[in-house]
Amino acid sequence: MIEVNRKGEVWVFAEQHYGKLEDTPLELMSKARHLADILGVKLAAVILGAKVGDIPKKLIQYGADKVYSVENPMLEHYQTNSYAKVVCDLIEKHQPQIMVYGATVTGRDLAPRIASFVKAGLTADCTDLQIGDHKPAGSDEIHKNLLFQVRPAFGGNIIATIINYDRWPQMATVREGVMPMPEPDVNRKGEVIKEQAQLSQTDLPLEILEEHKREKKVDLKAARVIVAGGAGVGSKDNFKLVWDLANVLGAAPGATRAAVDLGFIDHDHQVGQTGTTVRPSLYVAVGISGAIQHQAGMSESQKIIAINNDPEAPIFQFAHYKILGDLNEVVPMMIKALKEKTIKEEVVTAK
């Protein structure tokens, strides 16, 4: 644990594997930049690896003022102990006031080990971060400019704002995909600070025998338009409607957990609390009731079209276009209308 340090920097853990930076730290950059600006402190990224190459430069382009770069052959593979030790040493040396991690498998493995070692607070899976003041109940003292760590709890039924006013750093992991990725500025200047890792063989308790990575079948996070189907679609065969509509819209096909569990489509397509969090321009919900767990992953969509034959479906409470009807009729109508529009446009262009 470190003391409350108002001059401390805001840190982002820059997760990389085999020299390739993950998306999540970049997503965190715009929010972290905003927090650092409110607090009037520097934003730093922390990168560990055997060789980090141009990653520090990239982190600066995405908003970092400083990059703490730790290169060591013992950091080639991520291991909880070695990575935690290096980050804990850096925290004790530089006393940041805030440190955030992506809530990836690695972030969720690493951050709690660090929090336990430095005896600091940690909030998991945040969906938003803000700066604000807190007055503890029964106290007159106001703690100013704390990190508000906003997260869903109880299966997404409530939103809790968590704070940590005494044992710093204030730490949080942030869900993947909930923050928009900033645009890089290739002219941005920053400082790269090389740090040494103090490691021995005992910090590498794992022997990594084999690793298998697979590409996701769909990139929901990058999709501008998503057409998602729920259990209401009825069958795997009928899910073709979702694929067809996605096709004419140039959209990515998504699904609820129920549809995935029923075998209509692969898990890679799942949107929601246990799937991917998305924020497309348009989300078309086909036969989706809108359970809270699904909402958690798509409520940030700019426009939502809901097609459902149940007037009581929760999705109608927050959809922008509500189509109460049979999806087997409505979806083909949409496909037809869209195809005609494309043709009309071609005709116009041809003239």
Partner 1 sequence: MSYNCVVLVKQVPDTKRITGKAMNDDGTVNRAALPAIFNPEDLNALELALQIKEQYGGTVTVVTMGLPAAAEILRESLYRGADRAVLVTDRRCAASDTLATSYILSGAVNKLDYDIVLCGRQAIDGDTAQVGPQLAEKLEITQISYVEELLELKDKTISVQRNIGNGWQKVRTKLPVLLTITGDANEPRVWAARKSMKYKNALAPIEVAQKVKVRDPDADKDTLKQLTDSEVKLLEDKGLLIDQWDLDFLGSDLSWCGRNGSPTKVHRIQSVVLAAKESKDVEPTAEAIDDMLHELIVDKTIA
Could you say which residues in the range 224-283 bind partner 1, by CB under 8 A? Answer: 225, 249-250, 273, 281-282
Distance CA 315, CA 12 (A): 35
Q: At what angle do helices 240-249 and 327-350 cross, to 10 degrees?
A: 20
Q: Binding of partner 1 at residue 64 (CB under 8 A)?
A: no
Question: Site size for partner 1, by CB under 8 A?
Answer: 87
Interface with partner 1 (CB under 8 A), residue from 61, 69, 82, 123? 123
Number of neighbouring beta carbons within 10 Å of residue 48: 24
Q: Is 100:128 a contact under the CB 8 Å cutoff?
A: no
Q: Is 189 in the site for partner 1 (CB under 8 A)?
A: no
Q: Residue 286 CB, nearest distance to partner 1 (Å)? A: 13
Say whether residue 329 binds partner 1 (CB under 8 A): yes
Report in angstroms how near the CB of residue 168 gets to partner 1 at its nearest.
Answer: 8
Site residues for partner 1, 207-226, by CB under 8 A, read 207-216, 225
Structure tokens at 128: 């938003």
Residue 1 three-state SS: coil
141 binds partner 1 (CB under 8 A): no
Please write down the HEC assignment for all residues of 116-127. Answer: HHHCCCEEEEEC
Among 21, 26, 120, 228, binds partner 1 (CB under 8 A): 120
Q: Which stretch binds partner 1 (CB under 8 A): 27-35, 42-50, 111-119, 234-242?
A: 111-119
Q: Which position among 38, 105, 142, 343 is part of the footprint of partner 1 (CB under 8 A)?
A: 105
- For partner 1, which stretch binds (CB under 8 A), given 41-49, 53-61, 119-127, 184-192? 119-127
Question: Does residue number 287 form part of the binding site for partner 1 (CB under 8 A)?
Answer: no
Cα R_g (the chain), whole angstroms? 23
Of positions 37, 310, 326, 346, contacts partner 1 by CB under 8 A: 326
Please report how close the Cβ of residue 280 comes to partner 1 at its closest, in angstroms: 9
Q: Which is nearer to partner 1, 57 or 134 (CB)?
A: 134
* Site membership for partner 1, residue 158 (CB under 8 A): yes
- Least distance between partner 1 and beta carbon 184 (Å): 23
β pairing state of 16-17 and 20-21: antiparallel
Q: Assess 155 for contact with partner 1 (CB under 8 A).
A: yes
Q: Is 343 in the site for partner 1 (CB under 8 A)?
A: no
Q: Is there binding between residue 145 and partner 1 (CB under 8 A)?
A: no
Q: Counting contacts by CB under 8 A, is residue 124 touching partner 1? A: yes
State the DSSP string of 298-342: HTT-SEEEEEES-TT-GGGGT-SEEEES-HHHHHHHHHHHHHHHH
Contact 288, 306 (CB under 8 A): yes
Residues whose CB is less than 8 angstroms from the CB of residue 257 and which lie 6 or more positions away in sequence, other chains included: 270, 272, 274, 275, 293, 294
Does residue 81 interact with partner 1 by CB under 8 A? yes
Nearest alpha carbon to residue 204 among 79, 49, 73 = 79
For residues 282 and 248, the answer to whether their CB atoms sit within 8 Å is no
CB of 157 to partner 1, least distance (A): 5
Which of 261, 249, 252, 253 lies closest to 293, judged by CA? 261
87/122 Cα distance (integer angstroms): 15
Interface positions, 159-178, toward partner 1 (CB under 8 A) = 159-167
Site for partner 1 in 31-50 (CB under 8 A): none
Minimum CB distance to partner 1 smaller for 20 or for 194: 20
DSSP character for 77? S
Q: Give the nearer residue to partner 1 in terms of CB position, either 94 or 294.
A: 294
